[in-house]
Structure 1
Amino acid sequence: MSAPVDAPDWRKLTQEELDLGLNNSLAVPETAAIVANWDKLSAEMRARYPQHIDLRYGPRERNRIDLLKTVNGGPTLVFIHGGYWQTRAKENFTFCAAGPMAHGINVALIGYTLAPDATLDDIVDEVRAAIDYLARDLPALGGDPDQIVVSGWSAGGHLSSMVLGHPRIKAGLLISGVYNLELIRHSYLNAKLGLDEAMSHRNSPVKQQGGVNKPLVVVAGSGELPLLREQSAGFAAHRAMYGLPVVYEEIPGANHFTMMDELAAPSGRLTTLVRQLLAR
């Protein structure tokens, strides 16, 4: 769980180097084609499972949840989308439900208000409200509120780490997330986020003493940007330092976007990790 050997100290980078070191879309030339395929597959999945789409958990437009149910009374994977807290939507990620659903795992995808229309504090509060909604309403919707694993990709990995302490969540799977927001605060991404030092620190899991004592798997792709791989490795090391349960794993060859193939596929590594967490 040591830092990747090719990860630079972000504090010693020029502004341009830092910004490029966080720009996944530029790092993966195929991004547009990959995301277009996500949208196509996601639209097909939503059409197949229309029964519990856009469940409202709060007053704002994006305060909605899509629940794709495959088994009555089954466990639920809660998935939180990424996009650096300022782009994308739950509708872009419905495709990744296919892997877990093939094994009898229901999938709930959470939407939330994007920056700059919401601060990061607001976004975290919204996701907590969404978990509260699911904990309360899953029995009526046909799910088991005692069998919830939370997961998210990129910014969704960060948000998953922030809600891991919810009493109904049994474990977490964090995919290519960001856990020290100080480098985000000093990058181009802060133009919309508007983080100050205090907000950055209270929303950075690696800045907190200790953590939540629940099973947690932190995953990155070996083909991701070094700064982002270091985020995952660093958070796993932080938890290990406090004796908290954690596993860190890199998916060989995967970049920030192809990581999601491992959740969309029934035999994918991320799907397998979800199943293992639910079995604990």
Structure 2
Amino acid sequence: MNLSWRTMDRATLDAAYSNGDPPADFETRSAAFYAAHPGADLDVRYGPAPRERFDFFPVSGGKQSRAPTFVFVHGGYWQSCDKDLCAFVAEGPLARGMNVVVAEYTLAPTASMTQIVSEIGRLLDVLVEQGHTTLVLGGHSAGGHLTAMHRYHPAVKYALPVSGLFDLEPISAGGLNDKLGLSAEEITRFSPMRHIAHGAPMVVTVGNAELPELIRHSYDYAHGCADAGEHVTYLPVPGADHFSILYDLADPDGLQLSALAQLMQA
């Protein structure tokens, strides 16, 4: 595992994880997507906290009960963003014949990492109780981390972490930790790179125009899983940065969903 981040001072480390803000058209695209799907179930509760909620977009043609359900967990370094901003990504998996859930979770500093990880586990359990027994779990950035944490859930049959964060130690050493307040126990317990075991087959994706540290996370995790004998495909998306990679995910013919479909058909 590449540990070059240890040689960085605080300012350099913060810059190495500074992705900027999401493009303004995320909100525009998501608003248009909501308007085009008036039959969606919005703000469905899965727990007691205000942000423990999701939007459900059923596949068309009366195939809802037989279709797999793609669960998308947004990013934002566990401390920003919401489902409404990223809902446009549902267009891709929905067109691929999957139901889609776009979920939220409580953000830091209101929630600890322990609570955030637990909330996504509760989300998956509630979806199973509702009859969604074949889940395809995906997430972006912090959502990619949460995807990797839960690829061992029995209902998760496939996983798609996008530009994920798989080792919390470098996160704890910089400004991102000001709100997260990661404990030593949380760093160890919730770093997927440190707990590679048998889980759902995965496609691990990252934009090849992303920050080197973000690429390193995905590269190290994918190859660590492969070395452990896990069924994993590592997919750098040409020309994509940390946000534009979601445009590819929203495209049913994009590289990520094509790779996922190949995995699901294997």
Q: Give the aligned CA root-mean-square deviation in angstroms.
A: 1.5
Q: What is the CA-CA distance between 1:49 and the residue it aligns to?
A: 2.6
**Code of the aligned partner of 1:55:** V
In the alignment, the residues of structure 1 paired with residue 229 and residue 57 of structure 2 have an alpha-carbon distance, to the nearest angstrom, of 35
In the alignment, the residues of structure 2 paired with residue 9 and residue 89 of structure 1 have an alpha-carbon distance, to the nearest angstrom, of 32
Question: C-alpha deviations, 1:166-185, integer Å up to 9, x for none?
Answer: 11110101100000000000
Kept after mapping to 2: 8 A contact 1:146/1:170: no
Kept after mapping to 2: 8 A contact 1:239/1:246: yes
Q: What is the CA-CA distance between 1:62 and the residue it aligns to?
A: 0.3
Matches within 5 A, 1:244-259: 244-259=230-245
Does residue 125 of structure 1 match 2:118? Answer: yes
Aligned position for 1:267: 253
Q: What is the CA-CA distance between 1:100 and the residue it aligns to?
A: 1.4
In the alignment, the residues of structure 1 paired with residue 163 and residue 262 of structure 2 have an alpha-carbon distance, to the nearest angstrom, of 19
Aligned position for 2:135: 148
Question: C-alpha deviations, 1:51-88, integer Å up to 9, x for none?
Answer: 31111000010000111112322221110000000000
Q: What is the CA-CA distance between 1:197 and the residue it aligns to?
A: 1.5
**Code of the aligned partner of 1:262:** D
Kept after mapping to 2: 8 A contact 1:76/1:149: yes
Residue 102 of structure 2 aligns to a residue whose secondary structure is: strand
Q: What is the CA-CA distance between 1:148 and the residue it aligns to?
A: 1.5
TM value normalised by structure 1: 0.89
Aligned residue pair count? 261
Aligned position for 1:9: 4
Kept after mapping to 1: 8 A contact 2:127/2:133: no
In the alignment, the residues of structure 1 paired with residue 27 and residue 239 of structure 2 have an alpha-carbon distance, to the nearest angstrom, of 23
Match of 1:70 among 59, 72, 79: 59
Report % sequence identity.
38
Does residue 42 of structure 1 match 2:30? Answer: yes
Answer 1 or 2: higher relative contact order, Cα 8 Å, separation at least 6. Answer: 1
TM value normalised by structure 2: 0.94
In the alignment, the residues of structure 2 paired with residue 103 and residue 177 of structure 1 have an alpha-carbon distance, to the nearest angstrom, of 23
**Code of the aligned partner of 2:15:** L
In the alignment, the residues of structure 2 paired with residue 270 and residue 93 of structure 1 have an alpha-carbon distance, to the nearest angstrom, of 16
Does residue 157 of structure 1 match 2:150? Answer: no
Would you identify which runs of 4 or more consecutive aligned residues in structure 1 move more than 4 Å? none
**Code of the aligned partner of 2:26:** W
In the alignment, the residues of structure 2 paired with residue 213 and residue 188 of structure 1 have an alpha-carbon distance, to the nearest angstrom, of 32
Unaligned runs of 5+ in 2: none
Kept after mapping to 2: 8 A contact 1:100/1:274: no
**Code of the aligned partner of 2:50:** E
**Code of the aligned partner of 1:119:** S
Unaligned runs of 5+ in 1: 26-30, 140-144
